[in-house]
Amino acid sequence: MTRQHFGTSHVPLSPAVRAGDYVFVSGQVPVDKDGKIVEGGVGPQTRKVLENISAALALAGCELSDVVKTTVWLKRAEDFAEFNAAYGPFFPKDQPARSTAESRLMIDILVEIEAVAYKPL
């Protein structure tokens, strides 16, 4: 099986990798195009992360509706309801499988999400 890498990063990872019919999107964080962390709480941060995932998927010819699994790390469990309110509209039907955990994140953010999409070549 061949692999294709999409996008560039300032750290040693590929934002997205296609392996066969699957596209794996590395954990995305709530930063804008200038690398600044989005402020305003977990809601705005969640929306920005999902916009970043959508952009990474687009590089591989996919969209959010192709996502079959997400993994979510929240800095604080008490943000879960607000996170869900922001996350839900991005997946209005056929919601992907999801794991969500409270975690100490590597930078001072409230949420990080990775995704797996399925789109046959």
pLDDT in tens, 21-33: 999 999 999 999 8
Domain range for 12 is: 3-118
Confidence of residue 66 (pLDDT cuts 50, 70, 90): very high
- From the list 10, 113, 115, 112, the residue with the least C-alpha distance to 60 is 115
Q: Can you give the pLDDT at residue 60?
A: 93
Which domain CATH number covers 60? 3.30.1330.40
Query: Using CA atoms, how far apart are residues 89 and 110, in angstroms rounded to an integer?
Result: 19
Q: What is the pLDDT of residues 67-85, one digit of tens each?
A: 999 999 999 999 999 999 9
- 99 token code pair: 């794991």
Query: Using CA atoms, how far apart are residues 59 and 92, in angstroms rounded to an integer?
Result: 22
- 64 token code pair: 């959010």
Q: What is the pLDDT of residues 37-60, one digit of tens each?
A: 999 999 999 999 999 999 999 999
Confidence of residue 4 (pLDDT cuts 50, 70, 90): confident
Confidence of residue 7 (pLDDT cuts 50, 70, 90): low
Q: In total, how many domains does the chain have?
A: 1
- 62 token code pair: 């996919």
Predicted TM-score of the model (pTM)? 0.92
Dmax (CA) of the chain: 43
Query: Using CA atoms, how far apart are residues 25 and 54, in angstroms rounded to an integer?
Result: 9
- From the list 13, 12, 51, the residue with the least C-alpha distance to 30 is 51
